[in-house]
Amino acid sequence: MKSKKGKYLKRIALVLLELLILYIVIKVVIGVATNSPVNVFNHYVFVVKTESMQDFINPGDIVFIQKCQIDKAQIGDVISFTCINPTQTIYGSNIIHRVVDREVVDGLIRLTTKGDANVIIDEYQVTGANFVGRVTLVSPFLGRVFNLFVSTYLSLYLIVLVLLLFVIVSVIKRMIKLVKEEHRQKEKEKIKEEILAEKRRGE
């Protein structure tokens, strides 16, 4: 009985794992399609659109940003922050640049940033108010693959729908198999009990 229960638990765990993977994939696909950072396990997943960090980060690359406090950022780190310059068209957008200077003013950490491919430093310093986190991983070309498939909202919906249907069908198949096996096991136990009962009556 213990082995049977173990099999059931493993299958349930596998179903839950599939649902979790589907959830993560859908979040990433939607984030790529809408150009919005996606929060996955304390990391933001973001597709770079501009050339300001070439050649370290190129347009289409996917970056993984670890959420942390601003005191973790050091000179040379590539960080993510929100643009707070109201005169720029990218106001409120996510920016990924390198820290070129770090200072503490009145107890507050201020970071001076610059894109590797830019000539001048960024106009506004980064503070804890608009700091997002540090870039921990860059995945070249992966973002381009995502963009290829999610260039339109129609293709995005199709991808999500296909993934959803695949997992739903897989889950249903596993659940049906689980129910059938449980039913067969009950039938076997019932037959055994009937045989034992017949033997007892014969004695």
Most confident of 8-22, 111-125, 158-172: 111-125
Q: pLDDT band at 20, cuts 50/70/90? A: confident
Q: Superfamily assignment of 36-143 in CATH?
A: Umud Fragment, subunit A (2.10.109.10)
Domain boundaries, the chain: 2-21+158-202, 36-143
For residues 22 and 61, give the distance between their C-alpha atoms in angstroms, rounded to a whole number: 22
**Is residue 15 exposed (0-12), middle (13-18) or buried (19+ Cβ within 10 Å)?**
middle
User: Can you read off the two tokens belonging to residue 115?
Assistant: 């894109």
Residue 151 CA: distances (Å) to CA of 28, 110, 193: 14, 37, 62
pLDDT at 174: 72
Helix (H) or strand (E) holding 65, with range, is strand 62-67
CA distances from 165 to 115, 162, 172 (A): 42, 5, 10
Report the alpha-carbon distance of residue 90 to residue 84 in Å, rounded.
Answer: 9
Averaged pLDDT of the chain: 79
Compute the distance between CA of residue 144 and CA of residue 45 in angstroms, rounded to an integer.
Answer: 14
Is the separation of the CB atoms in 104 and 125 below 8 Å?
Answer: no
pTM of the model: 0.61
**What are 192-202's pLDDT values in tens digits?**
777 777 767 66
CA–CA dist 48, 3 (Å, integer): 49
Identify whether the C-beta of residue 37 lies closer than 8 Å to the C-beta of residue 46. yes
Q: What percent of the chain has pLDDT over 70?
A: 72
In this structure, of 75-89, 161-175, 182-196, the range with the lowest mean pLDDT score is 161-175
Q: What angle do CA 104, 105, 111 make, to 5 degrees?
A: 55
- Return d(Cα 136, Cα 159) in angstroms, integer: 28
Span 96-135, pLDDT tens digits? 999 999 999 988 999 999 999 999 999 889 999 999 999 9
| pLDDT score at 190 | 78
Task: Find, among 87, 88, 82, the residue nearest to 126 by Cα.
Answer: 82
Angle at 55 between CA 50 and CA 58, to 5 degrees: 35
